[in-house]
Amino acid sequence: MTETSQLLQYADMQRTFYEREAKRDPEQQVVGCYDYHENVPYETNLLYLYGDIRKPIFTDFGNRTAFDFACGEGRMVRRMRRFFDKVDGADLSETMIDLARKRTPGSDFWVTDGMSTGAAPSAAYDFCYCTISMQHICVFETRDRILRDMCRILKPDGQITLQYLYSRAYPALPVTPVRSVSPDHSVQLFRNDKHHAKWFENKTDAVSTNSDCDVVIGPGELEIVYNYFRLYFELVDFWFYDISIGRDGLGQTRILPHIHPNSHISDEYHGTHFVYIHCAGKKYGG
């Protein structure tokens, strides 16, 4: 069991990091590759089962409310307001929340302690979502507290979709490109990752965040992740969005334009997919 003091220490580290970077450049330092993320069709993957527009998670979005966990300066709140009646958000960085308030009038925002949704009201939201933020929390118990608090703010029939990072061979990470060694054979060298966190790890002593120490899901962990979410929800489903296509680096030539939704950063980036974890029918939190 991780001590609360260790969780607070991790939250402090995250807060110090995000406050510093938010003051430097809230778009590029915090969101990172802002233009890239603005090109990714997050809405389709957050609001439609399997990212399929024939399968909306609600038959109507118009009279419903949504909550953006770790909303940053409000980028996805503004995008999601095109669907929902109201979208609110929370973040552990006060600087990001100040910006969100200025840039997104009409929404309510809260500063959090890094382990919750802050002072967001209970049983108030039809939908709770997260983009490029839960993946940066390398402490399982922090994410678990946040999920419980999401259950608190959800209406009884509320739903969630949370985006995490998936890496095709994790915990093995490629260190060389694929090399041809004979007309019929190729080799690639992998190393076992010790830097990022597996699902149940609690890396409270991480010294940095925002890609410097993430939680990464690999194929061998899908079942335990599924079983974990089933503790809180009757229905759990996953779908994947490929961000590994057409990158440059490691001796390959980039085949897609630099800002392209399927081609995140460079070949050296270990993440191969965004995995969307969708849950409905909450069993916890009233």
Binding-site ranges for ligand SAM (CB under 6 A): 14, 18, 30-32, 70-72, 75-76, 91-93, 96, 112, 114, 131-133, 136-137, 142, 210
Tell which residue, 186, 138, 203, 192, has the closest CA to residue 170. 192
Q: Quick one: 71 or 225, whose CB is closer to ligand SAM?
A: 71
DSSP3 helix / strand / coil % (the chain, rounded to 5):
30, 25, 40
User: From the CB of 160, what's the least distance to ligand SAM, in Å?
Assistant: 14
Q: Residue 279 pairs with which residues in a beta bridge?
A: 160, 236
Residue with the shortest CB distance to ligand SAM: 72
Q: Quick one: 5 or 253, whose CB is closer to ligand SAM?
A: 5
d(CA 274, CA 264): 10
User: From the CB of 146, what's the least distance to ligand SAM, in Å?
Assistant: 7
Tell which residue, 184, 182, 163, has the closest CA to residue 271. 163
User: From the CB of 97, what's the least distance to ligand SAM, in Å?
Assistant: 9
Q: Quick one: 86 or 174, whose CB is closer to ligand SAM?
A: 86
Given a contact cutoff of 8 angstroms between Cβ atoms, the answer to whether 149 and 122 are in contact is no
d(CA 5, CA 2): 8
Q: Quick one: 110 or 240, whose CB is closer to ligand SAM?
A: 110
At position 179, the amino acid (one-letter code) is R
User: From the CB of 246, what's the least distance to ligand SAM, in Å?
Assistant: 23
Place of tokens 């590759």: 33
User: From the CB of 220, what's the least distance to ligand SAM, in Å?
Assistant: 26
Q: Quick one: 137 or 225, whose CB is closer to ligand SAM?
A: 137
